[in-house]
Amino acid sequence: MKQLVCEICKNIIDEVSICPFCGADIEIKIDENTNWEILITTNDIIEATNIKGLLEGSNIHVTILSQQDSTRMFTVGNLAIIKVMIPFPYFSEAKELLNIINNSNNEQ
């Protein structure tokens, strides 16, 4: 994990999206060295796309890796795995947001 210096409070922090000392938003540069984590796996591209849209609406970078074959009308089981991937610094924030969304859907 990379270490950064918060531009506001000048504390040395791990690569996170919010400074744990002063609460400032930290600009994370997404490049080829960024570690990506799997937020969820599904076999429903619509679910993955909806989650991507919700997270991007909260300024969280998201990518979808799909093994689904779009040339056929169906794909079965593990042959249709779709992964929603989040850069590591945003992972805990994305997980928390996804839990809030799931809990609000369960209450309705």
pLDDT, one tens digit per residue, over 47-76 is 999 999 999 998 888 999 887 665 555 555
Bridge partners, 66 (sequence order): 82
pLDDT at site 74:
57
Mean of the per-residue pLDDT values for the chain? 82
Given CATH 3.20.20.80, say whether it is the number of domain 35-107. Answer: no
Rounded to whole angstroms, the Cα distance separating 94 from 24 reads 17
Are the beta carbons of 87 and 28 closer than 8 angstroms? yes
Residue 54 tokens, joined:
């919700």
What is the reported pTM? 0.67
Position 18, amino acid = I
